[in-house]
Structure 1
Amino acid sequence: MVKFELKTISKDKTRMTFLVKDATPGYANALRRLMLSEVPVMAVEEVEIRKNSSAIFDELVASRLGLLPLTTDLESYELPASQQDIDDRKAKCTVQLTLKEKGPKTVYASDLKSADPKIKPVYPKMILAKLLKDQELEVVAVATLGKGKDHAKWNPGHVWYNYSPSLKINNKSKAIETFKSKYPSQIFNKKGEIDESLILENNLVDAVDHINDDIIKVEYSDKEFIFQVESWGQLPVTEIVHQALVQFDGKLSELDSLIK
């Protein structure tokens, strides 16, 4: 089992910045790829267009539905074992969403009616179509859990990382008055001093590097990494990280059992 030391730098519902210590570039990249490709989320997989007299082709309607981020409940649903689970509309694997609208009106994601209130569009004001007078759109869609490695619609968010910087800050440097205007205003605290935590929280390391090494000198560690994770909203950002770590542990255990 790989053991990382994780330290949260900042966090809200959809974004998280954390520090990973005692890791290698290979482990860091594996964790990033697991978050992007192995964390399951809900997305529309099948679409039946029952009526469409709008100006939008059926294929485009289906594409828009497929790319809608849907809230995901990993406790109630499981990944389909095969296409047969989807064809059979297995309750643990699928949820049905319906849409029936007539113009004139703008059709929003919120107009989708889900058989499970826990599975619904993350962003209700996303526009699906604009209907003129007497135009109609009727759709039955089936959503399933899936992984980003199979299709981008099952991608839970955006993840990137960089080597952790080590900052040497000299607030007593004689050059501060000369170079102060060159630095982002967000890095100064209420006392007017450069604050390392503000540099990290605002992701401004690159912005302060190479301005004046006597004021701020930046060095990088190849064993510490700062991760930025942004959720598209299907799952809380902390759940994305947790699920990726569970997957990481499971894959390493599987590999260990195969080589013994």
Structure 2
Amino acid sequence: MLHLYHTADVERKVEEEEGEFKMKLTLVKKKKGKLTFDVSGTTPAYINTLRRVFMTHVPTMAISTVEFRQNSSSLYDEMIAHRLGLLALKTDLKSYNVPEKGAPESAATHATLTLKTVGPKIVYASELKSSDSKIVPVYPETPITVLLDHQELEFVATAHLGFGRDHAKWSTGLVSYYYKPKITVNNKSAKFAEFINKYPSQIKSKGTIDADKIDTAELIDACKDICEDIVKIEYSENQTDFIFTIESWGQLSPEEIVEEGIKQYDAQLDEFKKLVKDI
């Protein structure tokens, strides 16, 4: 028998006939815009569900429509609009709502960004003037287009909340996972001098290999086939342990992505439960 618990709980339980599993989460690394967790006691299906939820089911702000009033640059309106749509915008989930189909626009559903300028110059995202000081480009030095002498560009852009499942411009970032291996390092191996130069420099410390620095899927792949007598990488048959990474594009912090993603997932579970009851 399967029992569902909200993912907002400190520990999520999944009880099955075979026994009980408890998911545990430990912070491995934290830096600006990126979080890495050690997740144990779960399944590939569930960890991949979280990955998809965090990437495509968390709303972010992005430009969805552009009204051009003047454009004498070398780029078509459509090309500039496409570039504007892909600008990452700081997102304020407390002040804005996802617009409903057919509902009129309101201050709670959209923000306006305007630009009016004349060449010669490179037009950057920093020149956009927002109706809300919180909704601004994450990367202000992103170039939009180049204007030559006397060329003009003027437009009004409207930004809405949306989901990555509908368009990539609303994606929150890169979310990935890989199976957590057991890494054994033997710095006293007889083959150490022969193979040490073949290992990535990132994992070396004072002439030895530091197992703690083999902390990404790329470094694990780079090390696994060089010499098992020096670096041995093993995977358990019972694959329930993972390294889970969230790297934000900047609209939201990784912490906000996790918090909002869990809310969205819980809401979907509640809706599913209601639909099942109505059958």
TM-score (norm 2): 0.85
- Partners of 2:75 and 2:197 in 1: CA distance: 52
Unmatched tracts of structure 1, length 5 or more = none
1:186–1:202 Cα contact (<8 Å) kept:
no
**8 Å Cα contact 1:100/1:139 also seen in 2:** yes
From 204, 214, 229, give the equivalent of 2:219. 204
2:100 aligned partner:
81
Q: Does 1:193 align with 2:208?
A: yes
* Pairing of 1:108-123 with structure 2 (within 5 A): 108-123=124-139
RMSD across aligned positions (CA): 1.8
Between the aligned partners of 2:267 and 2:208, the Cα distance in structure 1 is 46
Given residue 127 of structure 2, which amino acid in structure 1 is its aligned partner? Answer: D
Higher relative contact order (CA 8 A, sep 6+): 1
Q: Deviations over 1:143-170 (max 9, x none)?
A: 0100001111101111222111111222
**Conservation of the 8 A alpha-carbon contact between 2:178 and 2:217:** no
Q: Is structure 2 residue 24 aligned with structure 1 residue 5?
A: yes
Partner of 1:197, secondary structure, is helix
The count of aligned residue pairs is 256
Answer yes or no: is the 8 Å Cα contact 2:26–2:37 preserved in 1: yes
TM-score (norm 1): 0.91
Flag structure 2 segments of 5+ consecutive residues without an equivalent: 13-22
Note the 1:107-256 alignment, pairs <5 A: 107-190=123-206, 192-200=207-215, 203-221=218-236, 222-256=239-273
Give the alignment partner of residue 52 of structure 1, picking from 63, 66, 71.
71
Find the aligned partners of 2:151 and 2:57 in 1 and give their Cα distance.
40
1:229 aligned counterpart, secondary structure: strand
**2:42 alignment partner in structure 1:** 23
Deviation at 1:5, TM superposition (A): 1.8
Distance 1:83 1:104, change over 3 A: farther
Rounded Cα–Cα distance in structure 1 between residues aligned with 2:119 and 2:103: 36
SS at match of 1:167: strand
Q: Deviations over 1:52-76 (max 9, x none)?
A: 1111111111111111110001111
Q: What SS does the aligned partner of 1:200 have? A: coil
Deviation at 1:246, TM superposition (A): 2.8
User: For the residues of structure 2 that align with 1:195 and 1:252, how far apart are their CA atoms?
Assistant: 43
Q: Could you tell me how far apart the structure 1 residues matched to 2:234 and 2:71 are?
A: 59
CA distance in 2, matches of 1:186, 1:111: 39
Question: In structure 2, what is the Cα distance between the partners aligned to 1:76 and 1:230?
Answer: 24
Query: Contact 1:9–1:201 (CA<8 Å) still a contact in 2?
Result: no
The percentage of aligned residue pairs carrying the same residue is 49
| Deviation for aligned residue 1:202 | 8.3
Aligned letter for 1:6? Answer: L
Asked whether the 8 Å contact 2:33–2:250 carries over to 1, the reply is yes
Selected match of 2:53 from 17, 29, 34: 34
